[in-house]
Amino acid sequence: MIFEGLAEKLQDTFDKLKGKGKLSEKDVKSALREVKLALLEADVNFKVVKNFISKVEERAVGKEVLDSLTPGQQVIKIVNEELTDLMGGAQSKVEYASDPPTVIMLTGLQGAGKTTTAGKLAKKFIKDGKDPLLVAADVYRPAAIKQLQVLGERLDQPVFSMGDKQDPVDITKAAISRAESNGNDVVILDTAGRLHIDEELMDELSQIKAAVVPDEILLVVDSMTGQDAVNVADKFDDTLGIDGVVLTKLDGDARGGAALSISSVTGKPIKFAGVGEKLEDLEPFHPDRMASRILGMGDVLSLIEKAEEEMDQKKAQELEEKLRKNEFTLEDFMDQLEQVRNMGSFKEILNMIPGVGNKIKDLDMDEGQLDKIEAIISSMTKEEKRDPEMIKGSRRRRIANGSGTEVQDVNRLLKQFKQTQKMMKQVGDMQKGGLGGKMGGGGNFPFFG
Amino acid sequence: MLKKIFGLGSDEEEEEKEQEEVEEEIEETQEEDDDDGKSLFGRLKEGLSKTRDGFVSQLESLFRSYDKINEELYEDLEEILIQADVGVQTTMKLVDDIKEKAREEKIKDPNKLINILQDDILEMLNQTEEDDEQPTILMVVGVNGAGKTTTIGKIAQRAKQDDKDVLLAAGDTFRAAAIEQLEAWANKVGTEVISHQEGADSAAVAYDAVQSAKSKETDLLIVDTAGRLHTQSNLMDELEKVKRVIEKESGPMKVEVLLVLDATTGQNAVSQAKLFDEAVDVDGIALTKLDGTAKGGVVIAIREELGIPIRLIGVGEDLEDLQDFEPESFVDALFDF
Ligand SMILES: Nc1nc2c(ncn2[C@@H]2O[C@H](COP(=O)(O)OP(=O)(O)OP(=O)(O)O)[C@@H](O)[C@H]2O)c(=O)[nH]1
Ligand SMILES: [Mg+2]
């Protein structure tokens, strides 16, 4: 199967990247190629993918990602963020008109799910305390009117129809009058499915729009739609100026790349998602979930989250152990430092050390100074790292020479480390039960002060 | 033709003659209906010449802009295929293949790649003709809104025109007004419908219909089914049950399953085909809504991976908007943007 293993493939690629010490621009590009394939497999339109990837690439080849401990995961995160962003925030609301009735017009291709969506929306409005009028304006498909009438019966809600011999423009106009005299505060127009290239029928929609001036024109799109989604959405939006999109049949296994294509082409929000055949199966749309789904990354993302959690815990445990036994050495410090430096955000990793995060909020790291510290510690022997107390005059000179620094630099590092150790011990003593909480009192984290 | 496809054929000797007749008919019908511009054959011909021109000019201009074969050319080809919903894997396979052939056969002329690419796709589609004359029970399945009921109307119309006895079964007892929809088509075509109440057991409808078809010696019984997503396992089980009942009762009749796919569908169609095939063993595919701008390129992968042949295409909402699947024109149309 096409989709199977895609998430793993992506993960593999990123794992490979992770194995490399440093990440080049080329590495990122090849990872983005996998992302590109994932998007295409999910039916995101080709041109949309192209634009999207170049946008992500801009962000992803930045230093922040290239030097991070988890570059692959960073790339995924960026992709996910950008996808979510592109699909807009959840705006599942339909604004009620200040002057009722609120007129909602459903449009779309044949078989997209308009009639069912009309019923679902009606159900939603009823729940909202509204009294919607359903309008059967599909005079073409056999039994389309009957279908809406059956739904109306189920909802115990009136359905306006004039048979299939009248002009849909006249039907919708008459329907509005009916709603006004009947006191229906919402009107839902179910129009016939039509091809976006059918000039005549597209013109009919324009006429309906002109005649009844809907408050909300929604485009109903099948989430299984392929590359053609952009053409359809573009044309409907061009002709009618749609206000939003309803994505249907999301209860299947479609990746739903059409969602992204449509958003990026029209800039209009996806307001609702159809997730089943029952009338209550209409949900507000979640761009973030959709983003993961498009990438086929649902699992991988949670995996990453888990990995992060685990790393967090392991670190915390080790550190806790060390601190409790007062065994935090320069070696450990070097370890930490290395990890810190591999992470995209320095603060992020420090944030992961329990009790430290909130102390370094406005800390500005000096990369040069970190280089120095690393060089100094690298020039120490194992014994020296484990027991910095033994580093006296001659050793200090040797270390300074070996690391290309001054003796003062070595002195300062040792002094700062001692302070840190002391502080760490304090923390350890303070939180005998573990390191979950916040660190109380105390000054700056000495090393970086 | 439908008769070849679904076992409605007449004597073999007549086949050739028929072919000629059909061709004559094409001319006639076209003349007759030219003024309304809506006849099947008129449209077909128009459509084909349009796609052929489109194909030639699109591809030729593409290839002409390259005086030699290079990476960008392949990328352009990839782009065209992806945009036709051919899918990443099939596209890469196709392009890798023409790359290799170009290397092996030392092809320098970009134009020659056209033929290779076309042949490759045609080979993947690998259409086989079925030729069987048994009375047939055709069970029509597919996801919601794919075009099942409409396609049934069209097939019935076609069979009717071939002087076959047709019976329809309103097996969609679930969707609101689905029975009425099928009945409306039956009225237009002039066929009978076996139906129960909405909410009735679909298998029971099928059972009754098969009995009726057998006793009337119907040539073609078409069973409509409720649209369902292939991932809804309880509904897929129900479909299996319907087919079991049909098979058990079919007697002298042949049972075939037609999967209706919406050409607008992207790569999800592969999953649809796979799961429907697993449940009810799909014999052929009808690809609908090809009158839009969607290309339906995903059927190439379906044919390749699952071996399910594409039989029919839907090109509109009227009874006559049904055609046999012609691989050549389909492939042409893939490249016509
Ligand atoms: N343009 C176009 N529309 C089609 C074609 N085939 C079907 N349709 C339309 O697609 C819509 C759905 O068709 P149906 O036949 O009701 O589909 P279905 O699969 O029976 O739907 P459910 O029973 O609801 O699952 C209708 O509006 C049809 O007119 C086609 O080839 N071209
Ligand atoms: Mg149907």
Q: Examine residue A203 and state whether it is found in any structural domain, yes or no.
A: yes
Q: Does the pLDDT of residue B22 top 70, yes or no?
A: no
- Smallest Cβ–Cβ distance between A143 and the set B145, B177, B272 belongs to B177
**A274 and A313 both lie in a single domain:** no
Q: Does the pLDDT of residue B55 top 70, yes or no?
A: no
Q: What is the pTM of this model?
A: 0.75
- pLDDT, residue A314, reads 63
Least confident segment among A299-303, B34-38, B187-191: B34-38
- pLDDT, residue B114, reads 76
Q: Compute the distance from residue A112 Cα to the ligand 1 centre, in Å.
A: 9
Among the three residues A275, A297, A319, which one is the final residue of a domain in this structure? A297
Least confident segment among A109-113, A253-257, A328-332: A328-332
Q: Does the pLDDT of residue A145 top 70, yes or no?
A: yes
The answer to whether B45 is a known ligand-binding residue is no
User: Tell me, what CATH number does A309's domain have?
Assistant: 1.10.260.30
**A48 and A34 both lie in a single domain:** yes
Q: Examine residue A398 and state whether it is found in any structural domain, yes or no.
A: yes
Least confident segment among A313-322, B20-29, B157-166: B20-29
Residue with tokens 């309803």: A246
The most distant pair of C-alpha atoms in chain A lies apart, rounded to whole Å, by: 103
A250 close to A256: Cβ distance less than 8 angstroms: yes
pLDDT, averaged across chain A:
79
**A153 and A44 both lie in a single domain:** no
Q: Examine residue A338 and state whether it is found in any structural domain, yes or no.
A: yes
Q: Residue A423 is part of which domain span?
A: 303-438
**A332 and A268 both lie in a single domain:** no
A125 close to A95: Cβ distance less than 8 angstroms: no
Residues in B closer than 8 angstroms to A149, CB to CB, are 177
Q: Give SS3 for A298.
A: helix
**A291 and A308 both lie in a single domain:** no
**A214 and A353 both lie in a single domain:** no
Among the three residues A59, A86, A113, which one is the final residue of a domain in this structure? A86
Q: Does the pLDDT of residue B31 top 60, yes or no?
A: no
Distance from CA of A37 to the nearest CA of B (A): 7
Q: Does the pLDDT of residue A302 top 50, yes or no?
A: no
**What span, in angstroms and rounded, lies between the C-alpha atoms of A148 and B181?**
12
Residue nearest to atom 24 of ligand 1 (CA): B145
A34 close to A9: Cβ distance less than 8 angstroms: yes
pLDDT tens profile B142-178: 999 999 999 999 999 999 999 999 999 999 999 999 9
Q: Does the pLDDT of residue A351 top 50, yes or no?
A: no
Q: Compute the distance from residue B150 Cα to the ligand 1 centre, in Å.
A: 5
- pLDDT, residue A366, reads 55
A24-52 average pLDDT score: 86
- pLDDT, residue A70, reads 65
**A308 and A394 both lie in a single domain:** yes
- pLDDT, residue A22, reads 59
B81 close to B331: Cβ distance less than 8 angstroms: no
Which residue in A has a C-alpha nearest to residue B290's C-alpha?
A195
**A410 and A274 both lie in a single domain:** no
Q: Does the pLDDT of residue A449 top 50, yes or no?
A: no
Q: Which long-range contacts (CB under 8 A, 24 or more apart) does B43-47 make?
A: B43/B315, B43/B316, B43/B321, B44/B315, B44/B323, B47/B315, B47/B329
Q: Give SS3 for B8.
A: coil
**A389 and A353 both lie in a single domain:** yes
Q: Does the pLDDT of residue B56 top 90, yes or no?
A: no
**A277 and A323 both lie in a single domain:** no
Q: Examine residue A443 and state whether it is found in any structural domain, yes or no.
A: no
Q: Examine residue A449 and state whether it is found in any structural domain, yes or no.
A: no
DSSP annotation of B309: P
Beta bridge partners, B194, equal B169
**A114 and A82 both lie in a single domain:** no
User: Tell me, what CATH number does A28's domain have?
Assistant: 1.20.120.140
**What span, in angstroms and rounded, lies between the C-alpha atoms of A262 and A382?**
60
**What span, in angstroms and rounded, lies between the C-alpha atoms of A122 and A261?**
28
**Residue contact A222–B229, C-beta within 8 A:** no
Q: Does the pLDDT of residue A102 top 60, yes or no?
A: yes
Q: Name the pLDDT band for A30 (thresholds 50, 70, 90).
A: confident
Least confident segment among A243-257, A331-345, A402-416: A331-345
**Residue contact B268–A109, C-beta within 8 A:** no
Which of B144, B150, B174 for mutating ligand 1's site (highest number of atoms within 8 Å of CB)?
B150
User: Tell me, what CATH number does A162's domain have?
Assistant: 3.40.50.300
Q: Examine residue A95 and state whether it is found in any structural domain, yes or no.
A: no
Q: How many domains does chain A have?
A: 3
- pLDDT, residue A40, reads 92
**Residue contact B269–A112, C-beta within 8 A:** no
Which conformational region is residue B106 in: left (phi greater than 0), alpha (psi within -120 to 50 degrees), or beta? Answer: left
Q: Examine residue A241 and state whether it is found in any structural domain, yes or no.
A: yes
**What span, in angstroms and rounded, lies between the C-alpha atoms of A439 and A431?**
9
Among the three residues A46, A61, A86, which one is the final residue of a domain in this structure? A86
- pLDDT, residue A403, reads 87
Q: Compute the distance from residue A111 Cα to the ligand 1 centre, in Å.
A: 5
- pLDDT, residue B28, reads 42
Phi and psi (nearest 5°) for A367?
-60, -40
Q: Examine residue A198 and state whether it is found in any structural domain, yes or no.
A: yes
**A151 and A40 both lie in a single domain:** no
- pLDDT, residue A107, reads 98
Phi and psi (nearest 5°) for B257?
-115, 125
Q: Give SS3 for A325.
A: coil
**Which of B173, B179, B267 is the best substitution to test chain A (most A C-beta atoms within 10 A)?**
B267
- Smallest Cβ–Cβ distance between B230 and the set A111, A113, A252 belongs to A252
Q: Name the pLDDT band for A354 (thresholds 50, 70, 90).
A: very low
- pLDDT, residue A175, reads 97
ipTM score here?
Answer: 0.82
